[in-house]
A and B are shown apart, each in its own frame.
Chain A
């Protein structure tokens, strides 16, 4: 700081004088750098994915050709047909969809209910529950994974949808997001609803929820994405091939077709494309949700 200000005092006049001349050259040089970096990072960000999408239409020999071809010499659809012909592949897609959809719906309902109670109602224990919510967000998965499995095992829920859905149906980070959004709403909302004789449930459902739609969308999307991409928990609690979710199925599909990269690339698309589509539609919520769950936490 000190350096800057002494330099600055000495430089005040020259800068004033040079101002009309310097910016143009300076800005164009700076912008050139910015756009070079933009180009580089664009290639590194979407290059692998775009190359994979294109290559998933290549034949087995071409997908490993050296030097690699960019555009397939021959577009082949059979990779996708072969992947889908695997006896359980469609079932894996269905399984992961059930997991992600159920987790999403339940988590949106339950965490918004909890968020409502924690932000809008007065009751003993409120602060403790909120503090505990903050604290458990810090507990790493490493600590909970094994005991969580043992509980599921004791409940005889191993290899069921419930094993996947139960722990995911109300998540602290979602409750936290809901509290953050709801506590800022004006108190008059409930007062007028109460004067009109609305029950607490109706106040919540018809007055509060419509006010926090962006938060609901963000929670819904993040939960869906989390379950859709989840690998470790399904690996731990699912046992039979027909119950696998898609990421887990892909793991075993990969082991079975170890050298057939054309099939592996095609199979990975089933995991990637749905989330990408969601992302392009709801990208604002993806990004805002990610920020609000992290920055304020």
Chain B
């Protein structure tokens, strides 16, 4: 596979420098032919990637869109075109009794989750980066330490936090030291979703910290120095110099965080499986259940299209809010 494009290109070129130069000159003169060859070579180089791109990304996205117009239950009946019925069904649920619709329950859950986690992870990531930036000795070591939650797999952290959130676990022990009676975190409908929020802030802040760190290191030093010479204190410098300059990075972190959070699945499936009382049911989990437990593939596809549109709209609104100048361009 890997050697496939070899023969196609300039395989017959002799190794001698002089002749090679001659060929090059000839090649430059006969442009159309060379372009044809280069095109062929290029597409041979691209072939495996184009296969994945066309089949597993472009076709799949269109397929998903089309699928949402069908009633599909693989293995039972033949797919049946139902038009917008899947969407109609979901929106009827929204307008009649969203509290009974698992999909809209999951939407409410994920909106809470996105707001809390995105704000939490962005602020924590910025604090982590600023602390590192202010560290003189051992910055590299602390950076490595802070990054570890981002490297640990979601499944492993889920297992670890199942144990830490246990009613007799470490978290409740630490709370008992300050005389707080900790709840049964993951089995209490009030606390299950916040537990997952905290866990997600913990893992994702570490990876977003890196973006802020890179951006902080690129800040023009003269500007920061000028502001401190002008008598601005650290907070003023941060508020009036650092934050405005970080706007593009803040948008990037907020947008990536939002897109990721909206699709939260691993912990919801692994730790609580949507429970208790659907309090941690996320749209991805509901899509998964609709497709793979209830065999409603078309309905699940319609749910994912709605989810995609919501993610898209929210990201655009965020861009307007955080980077007004960029969106006017």
- A116 and B155 in contact (CB under 8 A), knowing A142-B263, A148-B60, A236-B292? no
Given A68-B173, A121-B38, A142-B287 in contact, is the A151-B55 Cβ separation under 8 Å?
yes
Asked whether, in the complex, the Cβ of A121 is within 8 Å of the Cβ of B45, the reply is yes
Contact with A along B137-161 (1 / 0, CB 8 A): 0000011111111111111110111
Contact A121 B57 (CB under 8 A): no
Name the residue in A139, A149, A200, A294 with the highest tally of chain B Cβ atoms < 10 Å from its Cβ: A200
A250 to B270, CA, bound (A): 9
Task: Check B67 for interface membership: any CB of A closer than 8 A.
Answer: yes
Separation of A150 and B56 alpha carbons in the complex (Å): 11
Interface size class of B (residues with CB under 8 A): 35 or more
Residues of A within 8 A of B308 (CB): 139-140, 142-143
Q: Which of A67, A118, A147 contacts B301 (CB 8 A)?
A: A147
Q: Counting chain B CB atoms within 10 Å of each CB, which of A48, A141, A172 scores highest?
A: A48
Residues of B with C-beta under 8 A to A5? 230
Contact across chains for A143 and B305 when beta carbons are under 8 A apart: yes
Size of A's binding interface in residues, CB under 8 A:
111
Bitwise interface map of B from 20 to 46 toward A, beta carbon under 8 Å scored 1, else 0: 110110000000000100110111011
In the bound complex, do residue B227 and residue A4 qualify as a contact, i.e. CB atoms below 8 Å apart? yes
What CA separation (Å) do A3 and B24 show in the bound complex? 65
Q: Encode A112-126 as 1/0 by CB contact (under 8 A) with B.
A: 011011100111101
Could you tell me the distance between the alpha carbons of A126 and B35 in the complex, rounded to whole angstroms?
Answer: 13
- Tell me which residues from 156 to 196 in chain B have a Cβ below 8 Å from any Cβ of chain A: 156-157, 159-164, 166, 168-170, 173, 176
Q: Is the interface of B mostly helix, strand, loop or mixed?
A: helix
Hey, which chain A residues are within 8 Å of B266, CB to CB? 231-232
Q: Is A82 an interface residue (CB 8 A)?
A: no
- Complex CA distance for A136 and B63, rounded to whole angstroms: 14
Asked if A279 lies at the interface with its beta carbon under 8 angstroms from chain B, I say: yes
Name the distance in Å between A121's Cβ and chain B's nearest Cβ. 4
Q: Is the CB of B6 within 8 A of A199?
A: yes
**A42 on interface, CB distance cutoff 8 Å:** yes
Nearest chain A CB to B311's CB is how many angstroms away? Answer: 6
A116 and B20 contact, CB distance less than 8 A: no
Chain A residues, Cβ within 8 Å of B229: 15
In the complex the two chains form, what is the Cα distance from A235 to B287 in whole Å? 14
- Contact sample, A vs B, 16 pairs, CB 8 Å cutoff: A8-B232, A111-B49, A142-B287, A142-B304, A145-B287, A149-B291, A197-B13, A201-B3, A232-B265, A232-B288, A236-B292, A247-B155, A275-B151, A291-B210, A291-B211, A294-B252
